[in-house]
A and B are shown apart, each in its own frame.
Chain A
Amino acid sequence: MRRVVVTGVGFVTPAVAGGRAALAAALTGRAVPAPARVAGGVLAELIERDEARRLSRACQLAVAAGRLALADAGREGADGLGMIVGTEFGDLASTLSFVDGYLRRGPQGLSPLLFPNTVMNAMAATATIAVRARELSLTLNAPTVAGELAVARAASLIRADRIEAALAGGVDELDPLVEEVLGSMGAGDELRGEGAGFVVLEAEEAARARGARVLGELAGAASRALSARSYGLGRRTASRAIAAALEQAGLRAAEIGRVFTSASGDDRRNRWEEALLDAALAPHRPPRTTLAAHVRRHAGSGPLAVAAAALGAAVSGGALVYAVARGGTHVALVVRRP
């Protein structure tokens, strides 16, 4: 099996946009809740005006973050590049615009240009065109853990020699309807935001051969499902995902120096996550960190945790990035010094 390394990171969040230097700077700053939405000026600096006219806002977020990640990785060509995108809501704003056209004007009000954006792979479709990623492309739809799942899937594909490299991450736009519906379902206190975050993953040999600046090794990645109803919480606290990721990385729980969690203000989900971590790592209890206060929680924040873990890989052993979603899907990613 091939080793997988992280060679770049790119992100656009309400607080900050950039690559590894911007992420490192953001993480050393005081953790204060950032605004929920990405300011228009941020995207205007990253997307050409012609492109901005053609692309929806969600697609702009994905394209901008993907380009920043490839630039950070120093990859000039996109040969052998796949793209795995996680998202919870897709391009909902375009979907609603498409529908509103019909409701206001009937069939004549339908925009054929908006229709493709009603499919959740719209962000992957536009980003693969923008960066010329011609290997396989997948969009993963999941609550809370979509970005972490995308990173795990990409790592698995590289390890199995399906692709040589991948842009893996997530994107979500915060639509007012989403906020309203989530609020009505009792999830209104979460530090939700919008943004996009991608890491560049590569087969270690290929990365070394091109002289890439390796951030860290993604040594283990696994996902499993715990028993829970849709958007519900489960009672079990044994995380087979953590055990599988540690085994793949060849590490013991005691060798984990830091944990990046998906805690975001959904208190009941947070408590479940804490219990799962306690059970998996006991009696060891390494420091736990969440990026929610820095970049809020969205499909791009999990991949940023992977990059943050790699930036802090001076920690002996490795770092664990962990996330559990309502509904029971949970993902464990082990990052260590290359």
Chain B
Amino acid sequence: MTAVVVTGLGVVSPFGAGVKAYWNGLVAGACAIRPATLIETEGFRCRLAAEVPERVGGSARRSRADRLALAAAREALGDAGLGREERAEAALIVGAVGGGMLEAEAWYWSRFRGEPAKDARALRSTFPLSHAAVLGSALGLGGPRETLVTACSSGAASLAVAADLIAAGEAPVALAGGVDALTRICFMGFNALRLLDPEPCRPFDRDRRGMSIGEGAAFVVLEDRMRARARGARIYAELAGYGMTTDAFHVTSPHPDGEGMVRAMRSALERSGVAPGAVGYANAHGTATPQNDRIEARALREVFGEGRLLVSSTKSMIGHTMAAAGALEAVATVLALGHEVIPPTANHTTPDPEVAFDCVPVVAREAAVEFAISNSFGFGGQNVTLLFGRTER
């Protein structure tokens, strides 16, 4: 069986550009959720978001999301040290939801108001597929190329599919990740569903009131372990397995028993041959909505038992970055394994009796764990669990 390993990381997060800024922010327990500046928030219950703070480089003709993706992808490829010939064989799997909607919204708003027509060619980067086209072309990636949309689990699903491509021998190496820029539609929609906290979110806290929205991008380079060793690549971790399931229950609500989440976690464990007791950390989906956190905690308890597992939600610091979330959290999980430090759940002050785990409140924790999971769940009951191993087996 082919082992799939992580050999490159790239991130643009609300802590800024780069993996280093991201990890430093997470370990510090810093909260990057602030008043939103990229979009109009007048009249909404929540007016906060975790935005990428600095100017995002690249051509202004490209959408903000395309530029976020390019910056993170370039860092990951550079980190992995992939040359031009290796890139020509590399698969590209991108998880995305909003595409270039931030710019398309501006076009549509303007048209609605009857302002002079703007060039419709600006809309060619509207759809999520734009990211794969832009990255593939700019970075010379010639293997299989797919854009996955599984709502908030898109970034995690991209890593899972890329791992399958490598395991099946369909590509020797893959760049996989997720991206989403802040959009008005996303912000308005979650406000309309009353799922946003007017204050920075507090995952797993007894008094949590909803999520905070964020933006960003993260990519990882995955490859066959033998190949990575042969070329002397730095191996961060092994992607030991994944589980992907569908609730088939409700378009926006998870199954009340979390049965789809349980199946995803168990599938990841079973396919990788890792016992539940060997997993020491779960980077939870942890959106901070009362319902999601309660159900996820129940599902975690059913799979791993009470108490022992460390559980944290990095969304408490960078918000819910939608399609980027699964990839950003995968990077956090990989770094936690390597650094032997568990990032905390910021803003977590009052334990919830329904959450039977140590949620690593406020302060990062030193802990050496062998295996860790990263959970991502999305609208449509789309559940993904990624299982990473610190050591090569």
- Check if A and B associate: yes
B147 near A137: Cβ-Cβ < 8 Å: no
A32 to chain B, nearest CB (A): 31
Once the chains bind, are B251 and A125 in contact (CB under 8 Å)? yes
| Contact of A223 with B379 at beta-carbon distance under 8 Å, contacts A135-B245, A139-B150 already known | no
A129-B250 in contact (CB<8A):
yes
Q: Give A173-214 as 1s and 0s: 1 = Cβ < 8 Å from B's Cβ atoms.
A: 000000011001100000000000000000000000000000
A230-B130, A230-B133, A230-B134 in contact; A128/B246 too (CB < 8 A)?
A: yes
Indicate if the CB atoms of A230 and B125 lie closer than 8 Å. yes
Contact B148 A118 (CB under 8 A): no
Interface size class of B (residues with CB under 8 A): 35 or more
CB within 8 Å of A: which B94-141 residues: 96-97, 105, 108-109, 112, 120-121, 123-125, 127-130, 132-134, 136-137, 140-141
Q: Does B193 interact with chain A (Cβ within 8 Å)?
A: yes
Contact (Cβ within 8 A) A125 B96: no
- Residues of B195-216 at the interface with A, using a CB-CB cut-off of 8 Å, are none
B97 touches A153 (CB 8 A): no
Residues of A within 8 A of B191 (CB): 107, 110
**Contact: A225 with B92, CB < 8 Å?**
yes
Residue B325 interfacial (CB < 8 Å): no
User: In chain B, what residue has the closest Cβ to A82?
Assistant: B246
A98 to B130, Cβ gap below 8 A? no
For chain A, what secondary structure do more than half of its interface residues adopt (helix, strand, loop), or is it mixed?
mixed
A139: chain B residues at CB < 8 Å are 148-150
Q: Which of A96, A134, A159 has the most CB of B within 10 A?
A: A134
Question: If the complex has contacts A98-B189, A134-B260, are A225 and B150 also in contact, measured as CB distance less than 8 A?
Answer: no
Most buried by A among B97, B105, B167, B194: B97
CB-based closest 9 A-B pairs? A125-B380, A115-B189, A230-B133, A136-B244, A110-B192, A225-B145, A120-B149, A184-B120, A139-B149
Residues on B facing A (Cβ under 8 Å): 43-44, 92, 96-97, 105, 108-109, 112, 120-121, 123-125, 127-130, 132-134, 136-137, 140-151, 157, 161, 164-165, 167-168, 170, 184-185, 188-194, 244-252, 260, 263, 378-382
Q: Taking beta carbons and an 8 Å cutoff, which residues of A are in contact with B?
A: 78, 82-83, 88-90, 95-96, 98-100, 102-103, 106-107, 110-112, 115-116, 118-122, 124-126, 128-129, 131-143, 149, 153, 156-157, 159-160, 162, 180-181, 184-185, 222-232, 240, 244, 327-329
